[in-house]
Amino acid sequence: MAGVSAHGAQAMPAALRAVPRPTAAAGRMALRALLDGRSLLPVLSALHSELGDAFQLPMPHASPVVLAGPQAARFLLVDARADFRWRIESDPVARLFGHGVLVEDGAEHDRLRALMMPALHRRMLEGQVSAMHAAVDRCCAQWTDGAVQTVLPQMRALALDILARTLFAVDITPQLQHLWHSILRAIKFISPGMWILWPNVPRPGYARALQRLDDYLLQLVGLKRAAGSSGAADVVSLLIEAGLDDRLIRDQLLTLLVAGHDTSTALLTWALYALATQPAVRRRAQAELDAVLGGAPPQAEHLQQLPYLGQVVKETLRLYPPIHVGNRLAACDLEFNGCLIPAGTRVLFSIYLTQRHPAHWPAPEHFDPDRFDAALHPPPQPYTYLPFGGGPRFCVGAAMAQVETKLVLARILQKYDFDLPPQRMRFHMGATLEPARPVRLRMHVRPPAV
């Protein structure tokens, strides 16, 4: 039995052991990993290899439990999901997003999710493909032959442009310079930091920037109300028609704006990094695009005709999952694999460790899109591949992320070759998983496909 809750049908076993803590040897290994990798991710990898799929992460004032692997995923996302809370009132993500869908539990989460889903349905998004590749072309218009481009900020601007047009039905680009600092501050506000150790640590320097985002979103809602939203399919109009007040709409829009664009930014940056450092993969993806599209912009009907590019996206999501960890609070005493997780424990589920788990992924550190080729390999085992989570709270933006990423990469690969000297890339654990150093690609204009 992988796990039961105190409220489950089966009684809690009488004798449970504590979740393993690092030994002195594991602690030294983790310290070496921290000094070498300058990130918490190598520490988690070192402790995982020593302690297995459940271990404590000793910290001042708290010792969160880290879980990894498919058994833990099913336990957290399905079997015991009602006994975990997404909303932790003291966390910055709840303070920033208010009652946004990402930080709501139970029936209210389900209600908000259902209200927004029509705008996020794959068929609706495929109707926005022309707007998406037009946004890519505007972004690429400034890329001259042989010039070096710093990828992440450009992918951020592109992701914000696409998200605002497709989900909010507005052009954010005239306000982007005004909002840029505020968006970056919002991301910093919810990124892992000292607040994990001291929940009430003062957070000066954010109020003005976050208020600027509030002002923009509330003005957008006011303009939509004044214009009349009947029959419109964008998220703002759907929420107005559902009768939500302005503040609750603001919470949903800010959740989508920050979480939605930041995950796309990270995914696109990592995909371009992988393609730049794997020229054989890039050439194969370009050959597929040339055969299917020639030089024409990709349309909705082409997305299913680009299987290898789809494999590149899937492998990028496996190796570099933007949402690399899930954060929950145990609402009652829980049992996982004979270990007691006491009520009130913060539980971190590592998607990163699960998708690099050596027991389930051959050569897990190697970038290999062919592992998702159905003609060569069976599909991943259940709960080993979870870039969008799983269970009833499967990511509301999963369809958009897949359509957008495939289309953006297709258009860039049509237009450009690019290279990056091989280098060891360290990770930055922000709100999403990002490269710790700038990814700078030298762009070379490709001759038109015939």
Better-predicted residue by pLDDT, 193 or 118: 118
At 430-446, the pLDDT tens digits run: 899 999 999 999 999 99
CA 63 to chain centre: 25
At 21-51, the pLDDT tens digits run: 998 887 777 777 666 766 788 889 989 999 9
At 229-281, the pLDDT tens digits run: 667 889 999 999 999 999 999 999 999 999 999 999 999 999 999 999 999 99
Mean pLDDT of all residues in 189-204: 80
The enclosing H or E element of 434 equals: strand 433-435
Mean pLDDT of all residues in 120-129: 82
Tell me how many degrees the CA angle 448-268-419 measures, rounded to the nearest 5.
55
Asked whether residue 195 carries a pLDDT value surpassing 80, the answer given is no
The band of 334, judged by pLDDT with boundaries at 50, 70 and 90, is very high
**3-class state of residue 445 by DSSP:** strand
At 371-411, the pLDDT tens digits run: 999 999 999 999 999 999 988 888 999 989 999 999 999 99
The band of 6, judged by pLDDT with boundaries at 50, 70 and 90, is very low
At 68-85, the pLDDT tens digits run: 999 999 999 999 999 999
Asked whether residue 12 carries a pLDDT value surpassing 70, the answer given is no
pLDDT, position 3: 60
Asked whether residue 165 carries a pLDDT value surpassing 60, the answer given is yes
Provide the CATH number for the domain around residue 353.
1.10.630.10
Task: State the pTM of this model.
Answer: 0.94
For tokens 């289309």, name the residue: 407
Alpha helices in 121-234 (DSSP H): 122-126, 129-140, 151-163, 173-190, 207-227
Of 305, 268, 330, 320, residue with least CA distance to 88: 330
At 282-331, the pLDDT tens digits run: 999 999 999 999 889 999 899 999 999 999 999 999 999 999 999 999 99
Kindly state whether residue 450 falls inside one of the protein's structural domains. Answer: no
Percentage, residues of the chain above pLDDT 70: 94
Asked whether residue 128 carries a pLDDT value surpassing 50, the answer given is yes
Of 135, 244, 156, residue with least CA distance to 434: 156
pLDDT, position 143: 94
Looking at the structure of the chain, the number of domains it has is 1
Kindly state whether residue 389 falls inside one of the protein's structural domains. Answer: yes
**3-class state of residue 201 by DSSP:** coil
pLDDT, position 9: 40
Owning domain of residue 319: 3-445
Kindly state whether residue 347 falls inside one of the protein's structural domains. Answer: yes
pLDDT, position 5: 52
